[in-house]
Structure 1
Amino acid sequence: MPAPVATSAAPPRRNAALGFIFVAVLIDVMSLGLIIPVLPKLVEGFTGDTARAAEMLGLFGTAWALMQFVAAPVLGLLSDRYGRRPVLLLSIFGFGFDYVMMALAPSLAWLFVGRVISGITAASFSAAGAYIADVTKPEDRAKSFGLVGAAWGVGFVLGPAIGGLLGEWGPRVPFWAAAAFAFVNGLYGLFVLPESLPPERRSPFRWRRANPLGSLALLRSHPELLGLAAVTFLFQLAHHVLPSIFVLYTSYRYGWGTSELGLMLAATGVANIVVQALLVGPISRAVGDRGALLAGLACGALGFAIYGLAPTALVYWLGLPVFALVGLIQPAVMALMTRRVGAAEQGQLQGASASIIGLTGLIGPGLFTLAFAWSIRGDASQALPGLAVLLAAGLMAAAALLAAAVTAASPARQGEDPG
């Protein structure tokens, strides 16, 4: 029988804490987004060659994902041992110092080290997830995780837009802005963020559980957790298809230029915000977290299928409202997973989940770019440019079938804490 989870604190404290987590995630993601438009230019300035810059950016992205994979379990376990507050604050201030370091970077090697540190500090989102589990009732967790997901969406809509404007003043200016955001965020938390994990509910730190493979021991100890972790791996892997090939695919198939690409990206971001901020809570209450998870996975599979088969840009656009409901998946799966561990294991759980996501970041880009490249080579009459997207649809469908099987023994309405 799963260990009991922590109950929520008094509503005012819980609301204030969730407000900080929302703002903290929003500012952290905005800071990450600020540098997206200018990092390639800065790298190209060091290399002096566009092709070499592209290679280095690929290396930077791999290193960032690798650091997420390695560091997330460590930070999650540290939050179980010392509390969520110090881990969150140290990571936020670490973000700030890292952006200063990259703003001052005199060489490509210095910039690379900055991206490595950024990957480590970004792994603090596992502590944020554990904080939410500490202060939120089990039946409200999907809604709370959905609000944090909306913060991600808002941050990635605003961050690149602001970064692009600031970049007109120079490629290093957005780094200084990102540092300022991070330091303000840290000072805000220093004065308003309470600790969510009392000393009596903390667990000792053990290095054997802090490595990515060791952190998965928690998942193996709970059969349903292992199944839900596999679901997470499949849908997160599928999710990498659009960041990896969206620009190439839509330009190749529909002839989209910068304006069309920007409009679709903006519309996707807005749709994601609407789903996670406004729909996750009501849908989870209506059909339970299990129902929301299955609906999100089914819509993800269907949406990817529409994207992969769409013969025209108009049909591709018609897939957006369907695909937007993938925003139900992550809040629902995290709500289900957090119910199945105790308060002293929430950080470890979040760290293990973040490691799984980091692993998909190491696999997904290469998988989908190679599939897309293979699909458009040779005789154009035999080409299937949507092959990579259809592969993602298959992964989503497999995740839906697995989720249905794993959660079959759970009640349809997940309003009660199992125990």
Structure 2
Amino acid sequence: MVGVVVIGRASDRHGRKPFLLLSYAALILPVVGLLVGLNHISLTLYYVGMLLAAVAGNSTMGPLALCTACLADAAAGDDAFRLWMYSMVGGLIMLGIALWPMVGRLSNLLFGRAGFAFLCAAIGIIEILYIFFVIPETNSALQGGSTNKDDDGERRAPRNSSEIGKDSYIHMFGRIFSARTMTLVTACVVVCLTDIQRDGSAGVELLYLQQIVDFAPKDISLTMFMSGILGFLVNLLVLPRAIKRGWMNGERMIYSGLLGLVVFQIGMAFTNSKVMAFCLLPLQAVPCSWFPAGLSAILSRYFGSDKIGHALGVLQSFTSLCGCIGPVVIGSLFAYTSLRGHGGITFLAAGIVSSVSFLVAVAMFSLIEYKRLVTGPDSDLTEPLAEASTGNAWTEVDAMNSRIYEAQKMGPIPVD
């Protein structure tokens, strides 16, 4: 939880590539520990590797946050393409969920019980080599030497003109807040409401189906395969057209993901047949990829290359925290209700919480956009009103814009 925030902020200041290498190298450590443990009948090194991986970015959370930050940097001028790339990250994760059980089974049959661990280690090494030799540094704040300074030492405008409008403000609850701060807080609240019950219900849903509709292991494998393939194909084939035609943006992807989760969880509460379960389980493919992609897209709208890594790290840290708390809370509730033959109450409660998360997301993101004081590149407010008395001209422009906004709220001066 802490490591992903640290490496996210560090990548803003020192570049994405070094910390991408660090995160992917850390992912190999548990695999190496597992290989050694299989030969020496001890898993001590495996747990040590897991601990070191957590320090370097909390297992997969660190690489995920940094990859998303790289996409935000590389596609900063094309919001539609960037949104699709965010969703494809989730789609590829779903594809991995679908294929890796079969790949693991095949590798173990061919190379023994350590075959899958050897395969993971080999893929990790290939990823590190690919990052080192192929992927360039994407953080625009570090390209060309000094960060945000001209040759004469004066502070310059952001390299990407779209970043000028990221420091906008909103008037809410009688006070003025930074739009980026309110957006990050809202995203974290929505993540907490969603992921605590989503991660928890995911841990008990298959056990619930085994109790209610007699799901066999082959049925579980089939539904995982169907969900993964469906999630990948929807992101690959359907979503690009929806984005191109203007049907999808960051907010709508969040809303669609949450609605899919609500339908799935409430439907699970009343599941009484295998056919209904097979129809419901693939619905997880939508919230698993669209919900985080939409949140990343909204954060990219307000955070530039010098802050997006930190923002994504904070968001991923809350996701990690919910992944720890959710199974305990939802698992305890399911254990209590299933013993009395009412396990569906757990999913009904999760669906209600998801509905609350949906309402909070709609209300807050709409309010932020409605109340936001526009200071984008097409606004006159981005132009300096006077020569700056210090070297930090852009800070003075923001301060002047805030004073103008305060004067506009006061209204015209009465004339006697």
Matched residue, 1:303? 264
Instruction: Give the Cα separation in 1 of the matches to 2:345 and 2:191.
Output: 22
**Aligned-residue offset at 1:401:** 0.2
Distance in 1 (CA, whole Å) between partners of 2:127 and 2:338 is 46
3-state SS in 1 of match to 2:307: helix
Is the alpha carbon distance of 1:368 and 1:220 closer, same or farther for their aligned partners in structure 2, counting shifts above 3 Å? farther
Aligned to 2:291: 329
Q: Identify unmatched segments of 5+ residues in structure 1.
A: 1-68, 204-217
Gap change, CA 1:288 and 1:102, over 3 Å in 2: same
Structure of greater Rg: 2
Q: Which has the higher helix share?
A: 1
How far does residue 338 in structure 1 lie from its aligned partner after superposition? 1.6
Q: Which residue of 2 aligns with 1:225?
A: 184
Deviations 1:273-311, CA, capped at 9 Å, x for gaps: 123333343334314322232122122111211122112
Q: Could you tell me how far 1:243 is from its partner in structure 2?
A: 3.2
Distance 1:418 1:312, change over 3 A: farther
User: What's the counterpart of residue 205 of structure 2?
Assistant: 246
**1:407 aligned counterpart, secondary structure:** helix
Q: Return the offset for 1:332.
A: 1.1
Is 1:367 matched up with 2:367? no
2:245 equivalent to 1:313 = no
Aligned partner of 2:254 in structure 1 is: 293
Equivalent residues in 2 for 1:59-208, closer than 5 Å: 69-105=1-37, 106=40, 107-119=42-54, 120=56, 121-122=59-60, 123-136=62-75, 137-168=78-109, 169-198=111-140, 199=142, 200-201=146-147
The answer as to whether partners of 1:302 and 1:323 remain within 8 angstroms in 2 is no
For 2:11 and 2:135, how far apart are their aligned partners in 1?
14
Q: Please give the secondary structure, in 1, of the residue aligned with 2:249.
A: helix
The separation in 1 between residues aligned to 2:104 and 2:232, in whole angstroms, is 20
User: How far off its partner does 1:323 sit?
Assistant: 4.3
Q: Distance in 2 between matches of 1:172 and 1:133?
A: 37
Question: For residues 206-250 of structure 1, what are the alpha-carbon distances to aligned partners after superposition, in whole Å with 9 as ceiling and x for unaligned?
Answer: xxxxxxxxxxxx999611221122112222223213431122111
Deviation at 1:202, TM superposition (A): 8.0
Deviations 1:147-199 (A, max 9, x none): 11112112222222211222234332211111111111111221111100142
Alignment gaps of 5+ in structure 2:
150-176, 378-416
Q: Map of 1:39-58 to 2, 5 A cutoff?
A: none
* AA at the equivalent of 1:349: A
Does structure 1 retain, via aligned residues, the 8 Å contact 2:99–2:225? no
Check conservation: 1:134, 1:196, Cα contact below 8 A.
Answer: yes
For 1:147 and 1:335, how far apart are their aligned partners in 2?
Answer: 13
Look up the SS of the partner of 1:222 in the other structure.
helix
- Residue by residue over 1:337-376, the C-alpha shift from the partner in whole angstroms, topping out at 9 and shown as x without a partner, is 2211222001101110110111101101111211111112
Task: Say whether the 8 Å CA contact 1:76–1:127 is kept in structure 2.
Answer: yes
Residue 348 (1) aligns with residue 289 (2): no
- Please give the alpha-carbon distance, in whole angstroms, between the structure 2 residues aligned to 1:125 and 1:219: 26
Q: CA RMSD in A?
A: 2.6
Q: Which moved more, 1:356-365 or 1:104-113?
A: 104-113
| C-alpha contact (below 8 Å) 2:203/2:327 kept by paired residues | yes
Distance 1:101 1:418, change over 3 A: farther
Please report how far the alpha carbon of residue 377 of structure 1 lies from its aligned counterpart in structure 2 after TM superposition. 1.5
Give, in whole Å, the separation in 1 of the partners of 2:46 and 2:15: 31
**In 2, Cα distance between the equivalents of 1:362 and 1:99?**
22
8 A contact 1:80–1:202 mirrored in 2: no
TM-score by length of 2: 0.73
Distance 2:293 2:375 in 1: 16
Residues 246-255 or 169-178, more deviating:
169-178
> Is the 8 Å Cα contact of residues 300 and 393 (structure 1) preserved in structure 2?
yes
